[in-house]
Amino acid sequence: SFVAMPSVSEDGRIDSSIERPYSEVCKGFTYFGENDVLFAKITPCMENGKGAIAEGLTNGIGFGSTEFFVLRSKDEIYNSYLYALIMSKKFRKLAEGWMQGSAGQRRVSKDIFSLRKMWLPKNKEMLISIGQTFKDIKILKSKLIDSILSSKVLLKAIQKKI
């Protein structure tokens, strides 16, 4: 799968339907795998909340924008926690302080992830609970957005008949 920056939304959705030959993407793009967490590091994408868990990748492999940090853990439930963390307003505010570069092309420094030990709850059950809760919220949010979009289509069809 090929995932450009526009293929990742501010609400955690990812369009992994675009495919490109390996020979076109093996150099010059960021590699990630199924269930890795993508975090947009460039302004304004980071401030707008672009990020997602990479899901539905063809053959479980993805390549995309070099403007993504890829976060990966050994356990999928930790990925849900990492996603919840990077999507939080508190983390995004912290990340703004780690941005470098000129006003138009500012990027979060990779050094922000050297703070990783501070982020994990000491209680593993709490970590699992937080990760699962955010997974559930993401699923419900996606269903709600789909429902709203379907309602809009239905409303337009009704308005045409009136």
Can you read off the two tokens belonging to residue 142? 């996606």
**Torsion of the alpha carbons at 141, 142, 143 and 148, rounded to the nearest 10:** 90
The count of C-alpha atoms lying within 13 angstroms of the C-alpha of 63, restricted to the half-sphere facing its C-beta, is: 11
Residue bearing the bigger pLDDT, 135 or 94: 94
pLDDT, tens digit, 9 for 90 and up, residues 75-112: 766 788 888 888 888 889 989 989 998 867 899 998 88
Q: What pLDDT does residue 63 have? A: 95
Claim: this prediction has a pTM higher than 0.85: no
Can you read off the two tokens belonging to residue 49? 């909340």
Q: Tally Cβ neighbours within 10 Å of residue 109.
A: 14
Q: Is pLDDT above 90 for 120?
A: no
Q: What pLDDT does residue 39 have? A: 94
Percent of the chain whose pLDDT exceeds 70:
93
